Amino acid sequence: MQPILTNPTFRPIREGLAANRFLRALALPVLQKCDRPITITNPFSGLPFHLRSYTHKGYWFYGRHRERDTMQRLATLTRSGDIVFEIGGHIGYLAQFFAKEVGHRGQVHVFEPGEQNQHFLRRNIARCTQCVHVNVAVSDKVGKALFYEENLGGFMNSLDANFADTTGNATKQRRALTLRQRRVNTTTLDAYATAHNVWPDILKIDAEGAELAVLVGGQKVLQSARSLMIEVSRDHDEIFAILTDLGFDLRHPDGSTIANAAQMDGNIFATRS
């Protein structure tokens, strides 16, 4: 079911405030000092959503209008009873959304190895019996790997040591950015699906620079999946080739067609008719 969006003037007002450098310079230091655990209502699931007031400010500040086109597109693609693999679950915002969309007959497998994220993720999916937290990183190999966690909210945690340091967001906050590395278990989509005999209809891949490895390790899964959303940050040519060779139609969240690899950036939707 497609989410109902209300108050269309709300989004540009919020975006305008967020883009105002003077207001940001005044408000952000205050918010940072008052960073504390809070609970809001997830506008897509109606469930309580636990987060930190500054660290995860994008969720409560933008609310229903956060990544609006992406959320609308996901809602049209996800059906009751679907099996969803969410690679990169962060703190559970989309997991709650998927749980509501698939209903009690569906399943949502949330892959999230980040220690800081897991604290909130587990609380946020506690009421979602459809959700399973999978405490591994998804890659192209089964085994162990170094995982790099940043201190700016866990949005840019990655298997790539250089990823967080090269994103636009991190560049703006470089003085505050620190990374902690630890060894985590890794799996591939094919290995997990085969071991548990569960094959997804929908994939959401937000692997912060490791998206190509996720696809390489999920060739069988990709052949059976109906659609996927992938955040593309690099390896544009290779990702375009894999998805088009598998027969996917590629589009931006607004529905515009992607005709070549140069247009592969940000959230990309791949569907089969």
- Helix or strand run (H / E) with residue 130: none
Summarize pLDDT for 255-267 with one digit per residue, the tens.
Answer: 999 999 999 999 9
Place of tokens 């109906």: 226
CA dist., res. 267 & res. 264, Å (int): 8
Summarize pLDDT for 6-37 with one digit per residue, the tens.
Answer: 344 444 556 655 556 665 566 667 778 889 99
- Best CA proximity match to 226, nearest among 249, 201, 206: 201
Q: Please check whether residue 136 lies inside any domain of the structure.
A: yes
pLDDT of residue 176: 73
pLDDT of residue 31: 78
Give the CATH number for residue 147: 3.40.50.150
Q: Please check whether residue 16 lies inside any domain of the structure.
A: no
Single pTM value for the model: 0.89
Q: Please check whether residue 263 lies inside any domain of the structure.
A: yes
Torsion angle of alpha carbons 139, 144, 146, 150, nearest 10°? Answer: 70
The total number of structural domains in the chain stands at: 1
Q: Please check whether residue 256 lies inside any domain of the structure.
A: yes
| Per-residue pLDDT at 74 exceeds 80 | yes
- Best CA proximity match to 89, nearest among 41, 43, 142, 125: 125
Q: Please check whether residue 171 lies inside any domain of the structure.
A: yes
Q: What is the domain extent for residue 167?
A: 67-271
User: What is the pLDDT of the chain when averaged over all its residues?
Assistant: 89
pLDDT of residue 23: 59
Instruction: Output the six-digit token pair for 189.
Output: 């989509």
Q: Are 178 and 153 in contact (CB under 8 A)?
A: no
Q: Please check whether residue 266 lies inside any domain of the structure.
A: yes
* Residue range 55-72: mean pLDDT, rounded: 92
Q: Please check whether residue 207 lies inside any domain of the structure.
A: yes
Q: Please check whether residue 213 lies inside any domain of the structure.
A: yes
| Per-residue pLDDT at 5 exceeds 60 | no
